[in-house]
Chains A and B, each alone.
Chain A
Amino acid sequence: MRSLLARWRRPSRLPRKPRLLLAVALGLGASIMWLLTPAAPAKRLDRVHQPAAVARITQGPFAPGPGSATVPTVSSPALIALGRTLFDQRCASCHGLHLQGRKGVAPSLIGVGAGPVHFYLSTGRMPLANYHAEPLRESPAFDPRRIRALVAYVRHAGGGPASPTAHPARGSLALGFQVFDSHCAGCHQIVARGGMTVGALVPNLQQATPQQIAEAVRMGPYLMPRFDSRDINQHALDSLARYILWTRHPSNRGGWGIYNIGPIPEGLVTFFMGLMALVIVARLIGERTE
């Protein structure tokens, strides 16, 4: 035991200076790596207001085209009653007691249907603390039953189509990659890690469910364009969902994927792992004079 302790206490074979260098490099490297991690930041309160984005939602989503997959809206008088109560408490201050919206603040929800309501609530983007802020993905404010209730109420009171959805199992991975490459990668990054555009953060999509993907494609939340079934038909949508689910665990055949965002982490590994290791080697075999 004592010898074990002694070994524990024995100074490392690395001399002090390289150890210090190593510690500094690791600390610096770790903090920069943290900068690159894909987690979205906390809700921001000072995002520049984008009137165009708010206004566009008032056009309402596309009606599902022929052959479109939808999710039936669960509804019952009790659910609608619960939905009305929740809506009046948490949503009506901006969207109005009769879903009519408020000019420059929130769009009308009349005719939008189930899709947008489910999308914004199940991704935690609504309710929004500050209507100037860009709605970003968070943990939902309501449990699934309350979300069902709100969806049922808005559709009951305002009308509109059922929620679109996608069935990844029916899609093709290669077609999904092609559709994503030509329609989505310009903003969402090719492995769906997100990024920035002028005026908005683009979310990474590793948490998106097939239904949320379909809803976003058909509705076009915030700055995102919307795509109807002539742009992306149901088979392409199924394939797209399949590719996006695949990006949760892409094929990292070369080893550790370092976040799949390209050369920035590669440069950090070059300096803080590769070159640093070699500098320490050089320090150990080169220094004989101090």
Chain B
Amino acid sequence: MSLVGRSLDRRAKRFVAWNEERIGAARGIKWAMRYVFPDHWSFLLGEVALYSFIVLVITGIFLALFYIPSDHMVTYHGSYAPLQGFRMSEAYQSVVHISLEVPAGLLFRQTHHWAADIFNASILLHLTRVLFTGAYRKPRDLNWMIGLTMLTLGILEGFAGYSLVDDLLSGMGLVIAYAVSMSIPLIGGQLSILLWKGAYPGASVFFPRLEILHVFLIPALLAVLITLHLGMIMRQHHSQFPGRGRRERNVVGTPMWPAYALRSVGLLLAVAGVEFLLGGLIQINPIWQWGPYHVYLSENGAQPDWYIGWLIGALRLMPNFEPRIDGFTIFPNPFWGGAAFPGFVFAVMYLWPWAQRKLTHDYRPHHLLHRPRDRPVHSAIAAAFLSWVLIVFMVGATDRVFFRLDISYQDEIRFWRGGVWLFPIIVFLVTLWVCRWLQRHDPHPLRGWDGQVVEPVQISDPLQDREQQAAGTHAPPAGG
């Protein structure tokens, strides 16, 4: 052990002793320090989201000090020449002020926005990893649902965040949100009036409501769910890939102290570093260029942030279908793309673990992951489903394709109305073929382990232990 390592070790021991003398926490801390993380880079994707959340909270607190959630109209007399004399809401003016006059305001605003985009993107990547490796299976299905709930909240949080600004893009986004909420059968009208307190653009209370949602309610919920998510991981232990020395009932990997904690801190610094670099070097949502929102204004090519893009794609792709009964429109068109589509996608994801159990008749708990190729049909279904959503997402950018490649917008929409069903079938078949090809060309189990086995943790399963005691056997259960 190096000199630095020894000094760290001594400090850690002193830290434990300090705690023990005051709150008697040595046992808990020692348990946490010995917690073993299985080694695989893809297990760090969720941590990217966690650390983005931390960056979001820190930058968000800074922004909240200057933001004014008010639709009170004022005349601009700030430092930005093209906006001189514009009538605008105080909300928009305060964000222009943050961007152009508050020291480091623009850095914090842009970092906040980039961190939000990366937060949702890393959750999605983490979700994909969990889906393809089967990490969502019992007993982690509950945690899978918590994760999905966090993604839903992350999307809502992001939308609320950029809607607070009251610039041209956020106004154009809010009016679509209003139309979608109006389109929900039976309750839509009441719901929209409840949220906006009247017809669009709503009453003065709307921005304060949105702000509380954005800076308090959703972040607090996210914090609670993150705690639950991590707490459940600690309790259930990480799942791990199969390999030499790795079984269903142990965890092989790197302990929290002195290795993994430092690695994780490194990742925290990298996440903060990348996000602040983006915030300082690449412009995001230059609201002074978009100008303030008024209901009579719009601009060409307006788009939502990427995590709302799939809904715009769905709204564009949906044919003109509005069932009527006796002259009354039961399902207004925005309902399909804006509410039914995301509802269906999330419902499928929430029910995925249950459906997997039903379809495979596999009700056992699983602590060992499978690699995507080990379950070709499962991987193919997952890939086809995700590609279905991805195509809908891409359709949100068809106007840019028209502009750049001159493929007629109407033709593109017509093509994808068929393609959105055809391509997932192709993806299904290709994934199946690739998985089987990989299986043939790569012996199983494939992951050689050349590291040191550090303190394998025995996972106690009270039910199974009792059964084994009753049966008088101590044979380990079958792996895989």
Contact = CB atoms under 8 A, between A and B. Distances in A.
A229 interface: no
* Consensus secondary structure, chain A interface: helix
Contact of A269 (B40, B80, B282, B449): B282
B152 to A, nearest CB: 19
Given A41-B406, A273-B278, A289-B40, A264 B303 contact: yes
A197 B289 contact: no
A290 B84 CA distance: 60
A101 B349 CA distance: 62
Contacts of A289: 39-40, 243, 447-451
A185 B299 contact: yes
A278 B236 CA distance: 27
Contacts of A35: 400-401, 404-405
Contacts of B122: 275, 278
A173 B82 contact: yes
A255 interface: yes
Interface in A69-97: none
B282 A275 contact: no
Nearest to B278: A274
Most chain B CB within a 10 A radius of its CB, from A41, A264, A283:
A264
Contacts of A250: 286, 289
B263 interface: yes
B46 to A, nearest CB: 10
Interface stretch (B304-312, B332-340, B463-471): B304-312
A79 B11 CA distance: 91
B36 to A, nearest CB: 13
B169 interface: yes
A178 interface: yes
Given A35-B404, A196-B399, A181 B117 contact: no
B222 to A, nearest CB: 19
Contact of A262 (B100, B275, B301, B403): B301
Contacts of B402: 196, 201
Interface of B: 39-45, 47-48, 80-86, 99-100, 106, 110, 113-114, 117-118, 121-122, 125, 168-169, 243, 254, 263, 266-267, 270-271, 274-275, 278, 280-286, 288-291, 296-306, 309, 397, 399-406, 408-410, 447-451
For the complex of A and B, 10 pairs with smallest distance between CB atoms: A267-B306, A286-B41, A254-B283, A195-B300, A282-B44, A270-B117, A174-B84, A195-B301, A190-B299, A185-B299
Interface of A: 34-37, 39, 41, 44, 48, 173-178, 181-182, 185-191, 193-198, 201-202, 243, 246, 250-258, 260-264, 266-267, 269-271, 273-275, 277-279, 281-290
Given A174-B85, A281-B267, 18 more contacts: A41-B406, A173-B82, A191-B289, A201-B403, A202-B300, A251-B80, A253-B99, A254-B99, A254-B110, A254-B286, A257-B283, A271-B306, A274-B117, A274-B278, A275-B121, A285-B266, A289-B449, A290-B448
